[in-house]
Amino acid sequence: MPRSPSHCSTTTMSDLYRSAMSARLAKLPADLPPSAEDEEEEDEENDSLGSLPGSGLGPPAFKAKTPRTRTKREPNPAFAPISAAPFFADAAQIAVPNRELDMRIYYTPPKFSDGTVMVCHHGAGYNGLSFACFAKEVAEMSKGECGVMALDARRHGKTTTTAEKEDEDLSIDVLVQDLFALLTTTFPDPAAAPSFVLVGHSMGGSVMTRACPLLLERRYRVTGVSVLDAVEGFALDALPHMNSLLNARPDGFDSLEDAVEWHCTTKTIRNAHSARVSIPPIMTEASPGGVLKYVWRTPLRSTAPYWRGWFEGLSKKFLEAKTARMLVLAGTDRLDKELMIGQMQGKFQMEVVAGVGHLLHEDDPTRLAEIHIGFWRRNERMVGGVKKVGDI
């Protein structure tokens, strides 16, 4: 377990935020993709909204070549896309009429009818296949006792709308109701449904935390909720610094191999095997005649109005969840005041994973699976009412 934060004074949180922000920025990789004509492009970069390094709001933003300085090259086969077929038993489109959605899920069911399913929600800009390697590890480590379901949120991956015009609203309440509707549609009878471990990365962690009480109210069994590298105070404190932190990302790529390679060389994802599965679905073919062949399926600039709402109130709702709670972090500099106090009071299990970045479940899926299998085994037998981890 990491060193207790009790040595930090709660009256110096602003100083802690500043030092943590500096630490996060210092961790950005030195081998950034090259940029040309920086002075000429400065105005373009200031007008561009990429992702926010250190906030947990998506992949880090790095300067990239503009189309006039970019040179096309042959795709590198070492970064060629990999099929998701070996990682899940099934992939399906689930009609959710009351949300006007046709939702994509990737699912490996548990071997036993009374088993557990880890339900996984990705972060902004990603998709369900972000959990592909993790899902395979969980199924193997649990010997099939624990299944995994990963979903594509609206405007992400292969989830599509059935409405005449797509609703672009990605506010937290919309995402929570989408998840709740998906689970109640897929498992309509709470008594016959498997127990759930709700696992959410970044934005997805906020969705899972808020969906937990809705599921419990309907008498679904929720073994626990696990939040991956999402801390309210840290994310919100980064927002005022957006103008100085945001840089341009590539507008797109000439091939899917280039997209995978960019995520690996910038260390956005440190596991190329995972990136080859998860990155192709976050790209989409550009309009004919464009300079680039592939562009982002969910441009992060379009999600900016929802960032604050995703994270506001997360710490309080996480600590109030009436189930076992776990926070898995990629570094000890990510705790905010409320979570520091909660950790000292033993209100949740905390794990810190070494040698990973923000996409820790992709960087080290084996370690993340070990942590979650342990969390599940400790708490599954307590769902019937015995005190769980974090209950005092």
Residue 229 is a catalytic residue? yes
Q: Is 180 helix (H, G, I), strand (E, B) or coil?
A: helix
| 8 Å CB contact between 70 and 253 | no
Number of alpha carbons in the 13 Å side-chain half-sphere of residue 113: 4
CB 376 within 8 A of CB 116: yes
Query: CB count, 10 Å around CB of 12?
Result: 12
The residue type at 35: S
For 252-268, letters b (16+ CB in 10 Å) and e give bbbbbbbbbbbbbebbb
Q: 202 an active-site residue? A: yes
Catalytic residue among 51, 142, 152, 229: 229
Catalytic residue at 358? yes
User: Residue 306 — φ and ψ, nearest 5°?
Assistant: -105, -5
Options 55, 130, 142, 202, the catalytic residue: 202
Neighbouring-strand partners of residue 108: 148
Rg (CA), the chain: 20
- Phi (first) and psi of residue 372, to 5 degrees: -75, -30
Measured between alpha carbons, how far is 101 from 175 in angstroms, rounded to an integer?
A: 12
Separation of alpha carbons 342 and 13, rounded Å: 15
**Marked catalytic residue, from 122, 201, 358, 361:** 358
The residues carrying an active-site annotation are 202, 229, 358
